[in-house]
């Protein structure tokens, strides 16, 4: 993988990635030369025991740009610069112009609850130069490159002393609030291990302490031996509807070997993970022959410099639909009790997805 | 408070409540005489360490009834019975016809993760006979009656050995998935303390152990002494935008005295809590002169028969809007990391709500 690091006129970083050597004369544009002037902070929520991030400068961000303006497309008109240069890159990552977390955050207000500056990082990952594609329609090798990029960002961001956890994710579809259709994801890098990964890690740690094996590795072995919920089973990676799916059409994708982080995956594992990922994405879009709205979340080990034998990197897909065109609303029970109610059986939804034929390239 | 307990033709319970003595000749109808035949079960989610409820029979439930049919209105046509009789009740509670949890659940499937029958209870609380009202437009004394009903249901359900936690809540607005506009809420009674109340209780317990005071009581004292986020301050109850609001326009309502559960509240406390509640609801609807979509969640002590000096009953309101007509989507960061990002400052949103004048009756 080749990597070019550029700085935008407003000071933000732009990283360009490709399998081939890129031309060196690319210039990083920015929609505005004005430096980011937000100063997010965090407040401690004593009842829940967690941090809440406040970024009021985000209210001013571009919400619905004119349809012809795509900030993730290469800049074609120098008078209306986008976030991206013209050039021969395949994947790009840049710092969000309206970040919820930024290394520039400073001097949190003093309040009656603990506070801290909103340090960390919020990055945008441009999956491809083509505004019309989707993550799932990209070739397997291109998806593998995106996994390499996630791993590189995990290593780069994780090396910062103010960052404890790196989480790549994708919000996909207007149904989950996405207004920008150019294929892209995001990376949030937190100054702490956030509550849900922390919970998963503590569950994995307890299993590791009790049995000396990986919780997710054992789970994957059970899913494979039953087979009824499997969507992809390769040499190195699997995809399946988990037996304990909270969301209707929830899917997990993981390497079979319990690697703690993306950084620990071999090239062959990344390639097979890309195949598993593409399989899921094509099945989703093929289910009703329409773009399937989802949240895609990557969980891995913290970047605290410690060994994490309990951790097993994996992707979780949370679907927005309960059935074709019908949203699943997360309401009182889910958001107020934290208990998910699933009006389907994982085995039935797995069968529906199994029935969708896909071809990998 | 007067209470009449009736049984519907399909075996479900209907409880009618009023301040006055009710006529005794009411007959409980049901849209169908067929007994509930679902058998929900729960599966253990090992990575998150929590139960997930599966109720596939709920897929068959009435989703969009014809506009003239309101199952919560008194039955006017005996050939098309609703859930409610004609009569002189003010508030009613009945068992959900398509419950996620029911005492009839039995014989959970044996799987590779722990399972249990989906026992517990799911009840519907009809706030009023008037289909056009809302919780906030009801008189204070009527809202106090609803609080009495919640307390009665907490006591009744909590006395069952299969129930550990009783949670009244309201999903309000089409924006949060509500298709039935007759004013109503729900009560979910769980066979375990669900993850979010459990988390709040453990935070409160740690505070109690360290300081010998209530976490929420101390929090309320701090909010009152600062005053900037207060929406209602009565003799016995308060409402405020919490300093650590996760949702934009989030509001908490609580008695000032750290009562563990609704059952522990005096009549005067319930009346003032009703005033606080009505104040919040009128401010919400007055903000943009349109119905304000929200989730209203009540958290209290478990019904495990133990004393819970650490617990402090309270209501939390989670708003669906970030600004007028614009939804706040919970996406990758909230649902995948568990960290809320708030693009506003609680003090600003409190000021907006403070500026809405309301009149209590």
Per-residue pLDDT band at B100 (split at 50, 70, 90): very high
Identify the three-state secondary structure at position A154.
helix
CATH of domain B197-354: 3.30.428.10
Q: Which residues pair with A92 in a beta bridge?
A: A16, A126
Pick the CATH number of A196-354 from 3.30.428.10, 1.10.3720.10, 3.90.650.10, 3.20.20.150: 3.30.428.10
> What pLDDT is stored for residue A62 in this prediction?
54
The alpha carbon of residue B348 is apart from the nearest alpha carbon of chain A, in Å, by 10
pLDDT greater than 80 at residue B67: no
| pTM higher than 0.90 | yes
Going B221 to B227 to B231 to B233, the CA torsion angle's sign is positive
Catalytic residue from among B41, B142, B182, B184? B184
Give me the percent of chain A exceeding a pLDDT of 70: 98
Per-residue pLDDT band at B106 (split at 50, 70, 90): very high
pLDDT greater than 70 at residue B60: no
What residues have CB less than 8 Å from B60, skipping those under 6 apart?
A: B98
Q: What does the H/E/C string look like for chain B? A: CEEEEEECCCCCEEEEEECCCCCCCCCCCCCCCCCCCCCCEEEEECCCCEEEEECHHHHHCCCCCCCCCCCCCECCCCCCCCCECCCCCCEEEEECCCCCCCCCCCCCCCCCCCEEECCCEEEEEECCCCCCCCHHHCCHHHHHHHHHHHHHHHHHHHCCCCCCEEEEEEEECHHHCCCCCCCEEEEEEECCCCHHHHHHHHHHHHHHHHHCCCHHHHHHHHHHHHCCCEEEECCCEEEECCCCCCCCCCEEEEECCCCCCHHHCCHHHHHHHHHHHHHHHHHHHHHCCCCCCEEEEEECCCCCCCCCCCCCCEEEEEECEEECCEECCCCHHHHHHCCCEECCCHHHHHHHHHCCCCCCC
> Considering chain A, what is the average pLDDT of its residues?
95
Catalytic site includes residue B184: yes
**CB pair distance less than 8 Å for B52 and A340:** yes
Which pair of tokens denotes residue B99?
Answer: 């419950």
> What pLDDT is stored for residue A84 in this prediction?
97
What residues have CB less than 8 Å from B358, skipping those under 6 apart?
A: B278, B279, B282, B283, B286
> What pLDDT is stored for residue A285 in this prediction?
97
> Considering chain B, what is the average pLDDT of its residues?
95
**CB pair distance less than 8 Å for B46 and A244:** yes
Which pair of tokens denotes residue B253?
Answer: 């309502």
From residue A354, give the alpha-carbon distance in Å to each of A150, A294, B113, B119, B331: 28, 18, 22, 31, 27
What residues have CB less than 8 Å from B157, skipping those under 6 apart?
A: B121, B123, B163, B166, B187, B189, B303
Which residue in A122, A161, A306 sits closest to B337, CA to CA?
A: A122
Choose the closest CB to B335 out of A48, A165, A318.
A318
For residue B128, how far is the Cα from the chain centroid? 15
> What pLDDT is stored for residue B28 in this prediction?
94
The mean per-residue pLDDT over the stretch B220-242 comes to: 98
**CB pair distance less than 8 Å for A244 and B338:** no
> What pLDDT is stored for residue A179 in this prediction?
84
> What pLDDT is stored for residue A34 in this prediction?
85
Give the CATH superfamily of B2-195: HIT-like (3.30.428.10)
The mean per-residue pLDDT over the stretch B59-71 comes to: 71
> What pLDDT is stored for residue B24 in this prediction?
85
Whole-angstrom distance, CA of residue B114 vs CA of residue B119: 15
CATH architecture of the domain A2-194 equals 2-Layer Sandwich (3.30)
Ranges of CATH 3.30.428.10 domains, chain A: 2-194, 196-354
pLDDT greater than 60 at residue B63: no
Whole-angstrom distance, CA of residue A315 vs CA of residue A200: 13
State pLDDT tens for residues A141-198.
999 999 999 999 999 999 999 999 999 999 999 999 998 899 999 999 999 999 999 9
Per-residue pLDDT band at A300 (split at 50, 70, 90): very high
**CB pair distance less than 8 Å for B56 and A337:** no
Whole-angstrom distance, CA of residue B41 vs CA of residue B318: 28
Residue A209 main-chain phi, psi, to 5 deg: -65, -40
> What pLDDT is stored for residue B25 in this prediction?
87
The alpha carbon of residue A349 is apart from the nearest alpha carbon of chain B, in Å, by 11
Q: Which of A59-73, A113-127, A225-239, B73-87 has the lowest mean pLDDT?
A: A59-73
Ranges of CATH 3.30.428.10 domains, chain B: 2-195, 197-354
Q: Which residues from A are below 8 Å from B336, CB to CB? A: 167, 169, 196, 295, 297, 299, 316, 318
The mean per-residue pLDDT over the stretch B120-139 comes to: 97
Q: Which residues pair with B5 in a beta bridge?
A: B15
Which pair of tokens denotes residue B184?
Answer: 């109503």
The mean per-residue pLDDT over the stretch A100-120 comes to: 97
pLDDT greater than 60 at residue A334: yes
- Is the Cβ–Cβ distance between A296 and A269 less than 8 Å? no
> What pLDDT is stored for residue A37 in this prediction?
80
Q: How many CB pairs under 8 A join A and B?
A: 222
């Amino acid at each position: 993988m080749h990597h070019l690091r550029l700085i935008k006129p407003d000071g933000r970083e732009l990283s360009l990635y490709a399998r081939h050597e890129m031309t060196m004369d690319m210039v990083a544009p920015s929609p505005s030369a004005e430096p980011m002037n937000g100063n997010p902070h965090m407040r401690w929520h004593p009842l829940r025991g967690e941090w809440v991030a406040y970024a009021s400068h985000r209210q001013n961000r571009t919400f619905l740009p004119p349809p012809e303006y795509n900030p993730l497309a290469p800049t074609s008109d120098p008078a209306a610069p986008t976030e991206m240069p013209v050039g021969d890159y395949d994947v790009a990552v840049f710092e969000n112009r309206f970040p919820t977390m930024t290394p520039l955050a400073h001097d949190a207000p003093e309040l009656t609850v603990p506070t801290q500056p909103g340090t960390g990082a919020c990055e945008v990952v441009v999956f491809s130069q083509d505004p019309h594609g989707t993550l799932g329609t990209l070739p397997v090798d291109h998806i593998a490159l995106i996994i390499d990029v996630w791993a590189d960002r995990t290593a780069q961001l994780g090396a910062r002393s103010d960052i404890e956890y790196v989480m790549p994710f994708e919000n996909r579809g207007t149904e989950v609030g996405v207004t920008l259709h150019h294929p892209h994801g995001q990376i949030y890098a937190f100054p702490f291990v956030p509550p849900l990964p922390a919970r998963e890690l503590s569950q994995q740690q307890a299993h590791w302490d009790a049995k000396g094996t990986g919780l997710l590795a054992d789970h994957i072995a059970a899913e494979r031996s039953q087979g009824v919920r499997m969507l992809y089973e390769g040499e190195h990676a699997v995809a399946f509807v988990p037996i304990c799916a909270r969301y209707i059409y929830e899917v997990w994708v993981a390497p079979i070997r319990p690697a703690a982080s993306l950084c620990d995956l071999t090239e062959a594992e990344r390639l097979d993970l890309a195949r598993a990922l593409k399989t899921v994405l094509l099945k989703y879009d093929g289910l009703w022959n329409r773009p399937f709205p989802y949240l895609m979340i990557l969980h891995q080990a913290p970047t605290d410099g410690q060994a994490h034998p309990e951790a097993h990197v994996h992707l979780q897909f949370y679907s927005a639909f309960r059935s074709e065109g019908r949203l699943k609303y997360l309401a009182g029970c889910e958001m107020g009790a934290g208990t998910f109610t699933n009006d389907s059986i994982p085995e039935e939804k797995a069968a529906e997805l199994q029935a969708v034929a896909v071809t990998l390239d």
